[in-house]
Amino acid sequence: MILLYGFPYSTNMERIQLALGHKELDAEYIAVPYGDRSKVREVSGQEMVPVIDHDGTIVYDSPAILDYLEEQFPALPLRPPGHGRRAEMSVFVDWFNRVWKVPPNAIEAELGKDDPDQAKIEAWQEEMRGYLQLFNNMLAGRDYLMGDFSVADCVAWPFLRYALIPPDQEDTYLFHAILVANMPLGDEHERLAKWIRKVAGHPMTPNIA
């Protein structure tokens, strides 16, 4: 049995939902109030979400959870065979988490200040817009970021989807509004738009209404 603890509208939660859906694994969703993480602390000894409880094994941090699911449930793999291709995918995942995510997080932090530095914000905005063509180029001649549907798509789609799919009305996260505002898709991003729509049609477990 897999229990998945997380927030509604969480990008990191959606990473795990995509992986579970691809692997056809069932999971029970345990909603964590955004302002009260006592349940997460009780289960995992820390406050990061998402957290999974797999028959008593606790794993937190979305990249670590993705690795755990791949190790425990190798059927319907999310990583390619061969050391070379797996290393390339690890490089992409690490780049996305350590480099791509910096600008939107930095913009959110700067906007939280009493006197935001507009020049810094504009530089980060330009960086975000520039990455759109990189993703579009990655999709040349293939349906998914690194060939078949993989952990790369699970990691990137919950963030890049905001370039095309607006948040629900109940979704009030400033971070998501930043993603929407700073990833304008044009005709030159046709492959990226097609990929966003394609992954949006993949199963996500648990299916949270």
pLDDT tens string, the chain, 209 residues long: the values are 999 999 889 999 999 999 999 999 999 999 998 888 999 999 999 999 999 999 999 999 999 999 999 999 999 999 999 999 999 999 999 999 999 999 999 999 999 999 999 999 999 999 999 999 999 999 999 999 999 999 999 999 999 999 999 999 889 899 999 999 999 999 999 999 999 999 999 999 998 76
Burial class from Cβ neighbours inside 10 Å (0-12, 13-18, 19+) for residue 56 reads exposed
130 Cβ partners below 8 Å, 6+ apart? none
Q: What is the pLDDT of residue 154?
A: 98
CA 33 from chain centre, in angstroms, equals: 20
Kindly state the tokens that stand for 179.
């993603």
Q: What is the pLDDT of residue 8?
A: 86
Verify that 92 and 168 share a domain, yes or no: yes
Contact in structure between 80 and 86 (CB atoms under 8 Å): yes
Kindly state the tokens that stand for 161.
């989807």
Residue type, 9: Y
Report field, pTM of the whole predicted structure over 0.85: yes
Q: Which domain holds residue 36?
A: 2-72
Verify that 91 and 187 share a domain, yes or no: yes
Asked if residue 207 is part of any domain, the answer here is no
Asked if residue 206 is part of any domain, the answer here is no
Domain edge (last residue) among 72, 100, 132? 72
CA 59 from chain centre, in angstroms, equals: 17
Distance between CA 105 and CA 33 in Å, rounded?
21
